[in-house]
A and B are shown apart, each in its own frame.
Chain A
Amino acid sequence: MTTSSPSDRPAGFGRRAFLMAGAATFAAGPALLAAAPALAAPQIGQPAPAFTARDSNGQTQSLSALKGKVVVLEWTNHDCPFVRKHYGAGNMQKLQAEAKSQGVVWLTVASSAPGEQGAVDGATANGLTASRKAMPAAVLLDPDGKIGRAYGAQVTPHMYVIGKDGTLLYMGGIDSIASTRADDIEKAQPYLRDAMLAAVKGEPVKTAVTRPYGCTIKYMGT
């Protein structure tokens, strides 16, 4: 699994090393000032950070291979109360089913470090998908947090929509009410759903950045 710039899909080693060094310098600057460097969030309208990762079935998934399709990224931690809110009430499954019917590729990403809450191996991930009747296209395993950090994912559930041409169209919360109460789902503005459906139709996403709410992602080294 590697993280690299979207423009160098045939990932030349020298270029990638250069970019990584650049990223390291970038991260080290603020790190000197504060213990916790901020995540650099990707930009709406710019190419979404490319990634290649192994999923829960041992298959390799890469963003570049999904060109031409709308992609949804869902960061998860199955023990987080905010995640449980949406799986417990069936909201997440409903969205995943809708995505599937619209030809959207829904990728669930687990970025918890091994040993932390939400860390899963392939079998556990598949067990969760089965028991929760979830229907993502795949569950990506990101135990070293590379994809999460590349996307600036902060919480679970943190949601992203990537357009057919690979540009980032939406990032933020699943909806507008930041609570752990399932009965708020109906009252909330469904930001993710609105963005996903707009992306499918090729319409502009009205609200492209919202407050992501949830539990902090338990990244490696935190």
Chain B
Amino acid sequence: MRTGARQAGQSRGRGQGAPAGRRAFAGAGLLAAFVLAAACGPAKAQESAAVTSPRAGVTLVADAAQVVPGQQVRIGLRQKLAPGWHTYWTNPGDAGTPPEIALTLPEGANAGEIAWPGPDRFAVGPVMSFGYAREVVFPIAVTVPGRLRPGDTFTVEADASWLVCEKECIPEAGRFTLALPVAAQAAPPAPGIAAAFAATDARRPIILDWRARLAAEGGSITLTVEGDGITPERIADAFFYPQAWGVITHAAPQALEVTPGRLTLVAEKGQTFDPTAAHGGLIAVTDPAGATRWIEVAPAAASAAARPAGFADPAGAAAERLPLARAILFAFLGGLILNLMPCVFPVLAIKATALARLSGQDLKAVRLSGMFYTVGVLAAFLALAGALLAMRAAGAAVGWGFQFQSPVFVAATAWLMLAIGLNLSGVFEVGTSLTGAGHHLAHAPSHKGSFFTGLLAVVVATPCTAPFMGAAIGSALAAPVPVALCVFAAMGLGLAAPYALIAFAPRLARLLPRPGLWMVRLRQGLAFPMYATAAWLVWVLTRQAGELGVMIALAGGVLVALAAWIYGVAQHGRGRGLVPRALALAAVAGTIALLPQLRAAAAPGAAPEATAGTERFSAARLADLRREGRPVFVNMTAAWCITCLVNERTALSTGAAKAAFRDKGVVYLKGDWTNQDPEITAFLRAFGRDGLPFYALYPKGGGDPVVLPPVLTEARLVEALSRAAH
């Protein structure tokens, strides 16, 4: 046996000598273990000999059949309890005590703390206990020393004691040894042990971006939790398990109230509740089907509720929050790169037209135009960010690009694009009564026009995020409002920068060709990207609002064209053209009147179709697959996210990519954010993201997910897939 570093799996100290009775008990357990081991021949490497009593069968298990030097393996105390008996959580409630595990490990090995599975409640009369019945594994992550070589044996010893209670309580103890073979490759444990770990992992507390606060009033405590995915339809029951004794009266019922985005639990105040201290714990949330999830919360103390840092800090997991300076830099870069993203395709035409208008203008006008465009972009960014933050504050589960989740917005934008296209085609002119296109173009563009061009550029460009932007937006939305607005402003400056640069650098502006007929032709040509955009938006509507929605959008489009034509005729004709103008106005009014119809058509039933080889994303399915140790690729997409669609075409659904998914056994989960979906919003925010596209790749056999860049190439994807599947 190696002289080992003694590692306490728990901070509770253990004494030197055991009382005689307990030693005898442990001795008997050991004897039984030896007999068992002898009878069964060589025991499975990943499960130790058992210490058994009429109440419990206890073993030490590992979640791998063989371990790899330098990597982690989970060692767990596995308890199989007789019906009616239970053991305890870290806060055992009113009675009992949690199990204690002291690991003895070879030199160079490290052990973490017990990862306590989420508990259940056990009431004995007026006394409430928190713990587990039937079967539970208490896992401890252990790092295998890097100096070990394949062929060696990694020996883990555990000294454990636990209390097992029915109505009566019996303390038990045991000493366990696990000899795990060291190999170059990890190997999954036997199915029975994998299932035991899986059952415990189903209870593993999860970290969501739920904000919690505690307030005490009189004899009760109100725990308020806000976050995505909280809806009355999904939460049938909830219970707050505080980490420490004395915060609440454990046995008292907790009154639950759920509204969209917010959950409150009113519990009886505990005997040692300290309003100035933080009280962490778990919220067990049970859905109507009876499935329970345990969510870690770290409610801010009532007196410190004003502090925004009272959030359940998701930093531990995959969420990456950036420091402010870097968030602003990333935002600027993201905005800059956004100019090159496929997403901005619809805006290119608007920008090109605006640029062309600068040709031949005097510098002052050019500069003013650039400034107004920048101001327009900034205003749009700030307005969007403000709306987003306000909706968040009101509890709505929305993310970046949320406006495209509304079919009304999509239809209105489609019509606007059509109208702009018709304008570029020369069907009608804006503002001036017409004396000739050339004349109009030769005039300085109106400042109002520049401003609205900026606005429009943002509204249309934002549904997709660029590299750097995802992390910045995620940070911004989690930050206090002024900081968030700073980050969004930086993003706006980035988006406006190239155009502003041309406007402000006279040399660059001089590079533009002289004005002439080319400008008219360019303008007419650029109408077609606008028509294409309108067509794409109508296609988005097929996903959002179904056939009726498309019908309404197309009918509206015809009315818009009619209005534009009549208005154009009026502009060309002599006189005031009051009648045609009135007719045009009537057509536009008719178009707008269609919008409420569209809202009615945007009923559910617009279920995203599952493409061959992909499965619909759900957090539960992902958790299941992770538990099985399967590699999983998660693709969050939306019909309105052009970058997503481009990636899909060029990288995700190519022959090579499909073959890689199939050969490597990577499960492909696809989430559709075309319409609002709190589950997807929650998933994105767990990564500190709020926009699309988003790709996460979970490696085989556990481990942290890798976030892939928003612009995918086939080679990059295939390489990542093979790495994830080893």
In-complex Cβ contact of A184 among B15, B129, B246 (8 A): B15
Q: Is B169 a contact of A36 with CB atoms below 8 Å?
A: no
Report yes or no: B97 in contact with A36, Cβ–Cβ below 8 A. Answer: no
Contact A117–B167 (Cβ < 8 Å): yes
In the bound complex, residues from chain B placing their C-beta under 8 Å from that of A38 are 126, 128, 249-252, 268
B125 touches A181 (CB 8 A): no
Our pick among B167, B171, B249 for the contact of A81 (Cβ within 8 Å) is: B171
Are B169 and A81 in touch, CB under 8 angstroms?
yes
* Binary CB contact string for chain A from 185 to 209 against chain B (1 if under 8 A, 0 otherwise): 0010000000000000000000001
* Binary contact readout A208-222 vs B (1 if CB under 8 angstroms, 0 otherwise): 011111111111011
- With a cutoff of 8 Å between Cβ atoms, the chain B residues found around residue A184 in the complex are 13, 15
CB proximity of A115 to chain B, nearest CB, Å: 11
Query: Would you list which residues of chain B between 136 and 189 have a CB under 8 Å from chain A?
Result: 161, 163, 165, 167-171
- Residue picked from A34, A178, A181, A219, most chain B C-beta under 10 Å: A181
**B262-275 toward A: CB 8 Å interface, digit per residue (1/0)?**
00000010011000
30 pairs, CB–CB < 8 Å, chain A vs chain B: A33-B253, A33-B255, A34-B123, A34-B253, A36-B126, A37-B252, A38-B126, A38-B128, A38-B268, A39-B126, A41-B249, A79-B168, A80-B168, A82-B169, A154-B127, A177-B12, A178-B97, A179-B97, A180-B163, A181-B15, A183-B15, A183-B16, A183-B19, A212-B94, A215-B165, A216-B94, A216-B127, A216-B165, A218-B168, A222-B124
* Known interface pairs A30-B253, A88-B19; A35-B168 also in contact (CB < 8 Å): no
Q: Which residue of A lies closest to B125 (CB)?
A: A222
Question: Any chain B CB within 8 A of the CB of A63?
Answer: no
The verdict on A221 contacting B125 (CB below 8 Å), with A209-B246, A209-B272 known, is: yes
A3 CB, nearest partner CB in chain B, Å: 15
Residues of B within 8 A of A88 (CB): 19
Question: Which of A36, A89, A155 lies at the interface centre, i.e. has the most chain B CB atoms within 10 A of its CB?
Answer: A36
Would you call A35 and B123 a contact (CB within 8 A)? yes
Q: Would you call B95 and A214 a contact (CB within 8 A)? A: yes
B273 nearest CB across to chain A (Å): 10
Whether A219 and B126, one on each chain, are in contact in the complex, defined by CB atoms closer than 8 angstroms, is yes
> Is residue B245 within 8 Å, beta carbon to beta carbon, of the partner chain?
yes
CB-defined contacts of A116 to chain B, threshold 8 Å: 167
The residue in B96, B124, B127, B163 that gathers the most chain A C-beta atoms within 10 A of its C-beta is: B127
User: Which of B14, B125, B167, B245 has the most chain A CB within a 10 Å cutoff?
Assistant: B125
List which B256-311 residues lie within 8 A (CB) of chain A. Answer: 268, 271-272
B17 within 8 A of A: yes
Contacts A36-B123, A180-B171; is A213 near B95 (CB within 8 Å)? yes
Known A-B contacts: A116-B167, A219-B126. Give 19 more (CB < 8 A): A34-B253, A36-B123, A38-B128, A38-B252, A41-B249, A80-B168, A81-B169, A171-B271, A172-B271, A181-B15, A181-B22, A183-B16, A184-B15, A215-B95, A215-B168, A216-B95, A217-B127, A222-B125, A222-B126
Chain A 74-101 per-residue mask, 1 if CB under 8 angstroms from chain B, else 0: 0000011110000011000000000000
Q: Which 9 A-B pairs have the closest CB atoms?
A: A222-B125, A183-B15, A36-B123, A38-B252, A211-B245, A33-B253, A38-B251, A34-B253, A216-B127
Q: How far is the CB of B104 from chain A (nearest CB, A)?
A: 18
Q: Is the CB of A219 within 8 A of B168?
A: no
Task: Decide if A182 is an interface residue (CB 8 Å cutoff).
Answer: yes
- Taking the closest CB of chain B, its distance from the CB of A116, in whole angstroms, is 7
Contact B127 A187 (CB under 8 A): no
Judge whether A69 is part of the interface by a CB distance below 8 angstroms: no
Q: Is the CB of B167 within 8 A of A216?
A: yes
B697 to chain A, nearest CB (A): 44
- A61-B129 Cα distance, complex, nearest whole Å: 33
Q: Which residue of B lies closest to A186 (CB)?
A: B15
Residues of A within 8 A of B92 (CB): 178
B88 to chain A, nearest CB (A): 10
